[in-house]
């Protein structure tokens, strides 16, 4: 199945530092999406990067995509305590039904 | 409404009982997804609707689980003969269409506890 695997599973940093999370996947994709989840409830879409893009920015977020390595990374710069959450990647294959498959996620803790 | 609405937000039921969880997607969204999430795990895909039909129900764990979307908007996830292992947060999401480029919008989930 088209599931992303996030790494590391857990990350703890100080406020103001940068946080980097990685995602690996197995098959070819149409796009890859990153989501954030606070307190185990609804997920919030952060950013989408298409297979023909290599890098994308949104505010303090920077996403890269390397289709040759089947990997993506999410960088959060100048982290804040409010960034504490779980982060999930969701690769979307070119031939699937449209469903999003999530991995275990990366749990980020930003200490004030 | 402005976002995806799920009701109830919390549900406690006794083992063996039947439960229904409701999802109101964003108006006009044709795609609707159900996920289940246990503590410390990522969301587990259950079923995906495109319009009124289930495009992919491969994630439903067994025949005690069933979902409907009769008019292509509101969806109900139905669980028969609940078991303690069904306790989890059930998440619903919707997206505008069949296009694979679109993002999904999630509700806040229903926390189901089977005692």
**Peptide bond before residue A8 is cis, with ω within 30 degrees of 0:** yes
User: Does residue B23 register a pLDDT over 90?
Assistant: yes
Per residue in B49-108, pLDDT (tens digit) is: 999 999 899 999 999 999 999 999 999 999 999 999 999 999 999 998 765 568 899 999
CA atoms within 13 A on the CB side of B48: 18
Q: Which domains does chain A carry? A: 5-111 (2.60.40.10)
A26: left (phi over 0), alpha (psi -120 to 50) or beta: alpha
* Confidence (pLDDT) at A3: 82
* Confidence (pLDDT) at A4: 87
Residue A89 burial (C-beta neighbours within 10 Å; 0-12, 13-18, 19+): buried
CA atoms within 13 A on the CB side of A37: 28
- Rounded CA separation B35/A67 (Å): 27
Per residue in B62-79, pLDDT (tens digit) is: 999 999 999 999 999 999
Per residue in A14-60, pLDDT (tens digit) is: 999 999 999 999 888 889 999 999 976 789 999 999 999 999 999 99
Distance from CA of A53 to the nearest CA of B (A): 13
Report yes or no: B65 at the A interface, CB cutoff 8 Å: no
- Rounded CA separation B95/B60 (Å): 20
Rg (alpha carbons) of chain B, rounded to whole number: 13
B63: three-class secondary structure by DSSP: coil
- Rounded CA separation B62/B106 (Å): 24
Q: Which domains does chain B carry? A: 5-114 (2.60.40.10)
- Rounded CA separation B72/B26 (Å): 11
User: Does residue B12 register a pLDDT over 70?
Assistant: yes
Per residue in A69-108, pLDDT (tens digit) is: 999 999 999 999 999 999 999 998 765 556 788 989 999 9
Chain B residues within an 8 Å CB radius of A105: 42
Tell which wins on pLDDT, B98 or B48.
B48
Q: What is the DSSP letter of B16?
A: T
Residue pair A19/A83 in contact by the 8 Å Cβ criterion: yes
Residues of chain A that touch chain B, judged by Cβ-Cβ distance less than 8 Å: 30-31, 33, 35, 40-45, 48, 50, 88, 92, 94, 96-105
Q: Which is nearest to A90 in space by CA: A20, A12, A37, A11? A: A37
């Amino acid at each position: 199945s088209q599931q992303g695997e996030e790494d590391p599973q857990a990350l703890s940093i100080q406020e103001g530092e940068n946080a980097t999370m990685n995602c690996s996947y197995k098959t070819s994709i149409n796009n890859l999406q990153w989501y954030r989840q606070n307190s185990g409830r609804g997920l919030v879409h952060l950013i989408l990067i298409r297979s023909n893009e290599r890098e994308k920015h949104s505010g303090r977020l920077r996403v890269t995509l390397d289709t040759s390595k089947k990997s993506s990374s999410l960088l959060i710069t100048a982290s804040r305590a409010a960034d504490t959450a779980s982060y999930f990647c969701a690769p979307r294959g070119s031939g699937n039904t449209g469903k999003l498959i999530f991995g275990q996620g990366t749990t980020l803790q930003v200490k004030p | 409404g402005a976002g995806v609405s799920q009701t109830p937000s919390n549900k406690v039921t006794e083992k063996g009982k039947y439960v229904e969880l409701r999802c109101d997607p964003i108006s006009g969204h044709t795609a609707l997804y159900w996920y289940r999430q246990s503590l410390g795990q990522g969301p587990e895909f259950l079923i995906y609707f495109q319009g009124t039909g289930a495009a992919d129900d491969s994630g439903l764990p067994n025949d005690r689980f069933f979902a409907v979307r009769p008019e292509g908007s509101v969806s109900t996830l139905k669980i028969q003969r609940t078991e303690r292992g069904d306790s989890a947060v059930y998440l619903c999401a919707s997206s505008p269409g069949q296009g694979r480029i679109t993002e999904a919008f999630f509700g806040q989930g229903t926390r189901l506890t089977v005692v």
